[in-house]
Amino acid sequence: MEYFNLFIKSVFVDNMIFAYFLGMCSYLAVSKTVKTSAGLGLAVTFVLVVTVPVNYLINKYLLSPGALAWISPRFATVDLSFLTYILFIAIIAAIVQILEMIIETFTPSLYSALGIFLPLIAVNCAILGCSLFMQERAFSNVGEAAVFGLGSGIGWLLAIVAIAAIREKLRYSKIPKALQGVGISFIITGLMGIAFMAFMGIKL
C-alpha cells in the first residue's frame, strides 16, 4: 500500500514537469506530435526505472556520510557526498549507453522506436533531478527508489503526451502571431500545471 501511495504521489502530486519543471527542454522541443513524444516518454520512464535504484545503491553504499563502514570500520568517518553530482551523471551516462547497446542487440524494433531519443536522455534534467530528489528524500529501501523512478517517469510521459495532443489540435486554431509556437506552449503548460495542483494533498 505504501508503494502504491508513493507511486500515485510521484505521478500526480510531485509531477516532474508541472511541479518541478524538470525535463522542460525536451518537453517543449519534442512535443510536436503524439507519436514521437510517446516514444521519448517511454524512453525516459525506462531510463528512470533503471538509474534511480542504481544511484540509490551508490548513494547508500558509497556516498552518504559513513557509508563506507561496510568495508572496514576505519572508513566509518569518510564522507564522500561532495562527489554526488559527478558520480550520478557518470552513472547515468554509462547506463544510457549500455541500455542503448542492449536494446539494439536484443529488440531492434524497440530500438527503432526509442533509439534516436536515448542519447538525448543523458542530459535530460528529469533523470538527474529524479536521482537528486531520491537522495534528498532518503528512501528506506531500493524498492521505494524504483517505484519513485517509475512513478516520475509515468508522470513525465503523461505530461508530454498531453501537451503533444493539445499542440496537434492547436495547429488549427487562431493564435496571435507573436504567441505562436513556444509562447502558447508555455502558457498551456502553466494552465495544465494549475489543473494538476488539484491533486495536491491526496493521500491513499
Partner 1 sequence: MSNLKKLVIEPLRKTNPVTVLVLGICSCLAVTAQLKPALVMGASVTIVTALSNLIISLLRKGIPSRIRIIVQLVVVATLVIMIDQFLKAFAYEVSKQLSVYVGLIITNCIIMGRLEAFALSHGPGESFLDGLGNGFGYSLILIIVAFFRELLGSGTLLGYQVIPQSFYEAGYQNNGLIILPPMALIVVGIIIWIQRTRNPEMQENNQN
Q: Give residues in contact with partner 1 (CB under 8 A).
A: 18-25, 28-29, 32, 82-86, 88-90, 93, 122-125, 127-129, 132-133, 136, 167, 170-171, 176-187, 189-194, 196-197
Closer by beta carbon to partner 1, 37 or else 189: 189
AA letter at 106 = F
Assigned C-alpha cell, 191: 494552465
End-to-end Cα, the chain, rounded Å = 8
Q: How many other C-beta atoms are found inside a 10 Å radius of the C-beta of residue 193? A: 15
Q: What is the rounded distance in angstroms from the CA atom of residue 128 to the CA atom of residue 84?
A: 11
Shortest distance in whole angstroms from residue 69 CB to partner 1: 24
**What's CA 61's distance to the chain center, in Å?**
23
Closer by beta carbon to partner 1, 73 or else 201: 201
Supply the Cα-derived Rg of the chain in whole angstroms: 19
Closer by beta carbon to partner 1, 7 or else 88: 88
Residue 154: its H or E element: helix 142-170
Shortest distance in whole angstroms from residue 114 CB to partner 1: 18
Assigned C-alpha cell, 49: 526505472
Shortest distance in whole angstroms from residue 51 CB to partner 1: 13
- Decide if 130 contacts 49 (C-beta within 8 A): no
Closer by beta carbon to partner 1, 25 or else 101: 25
Closer by beta carbon to partner 1, 37 or else 84: 84
Shortest distance in whole angstroms from residue 19 CB to partner 1: 6
Shortest distance in whole angstroms from residue 55 CB to partner 1: 12
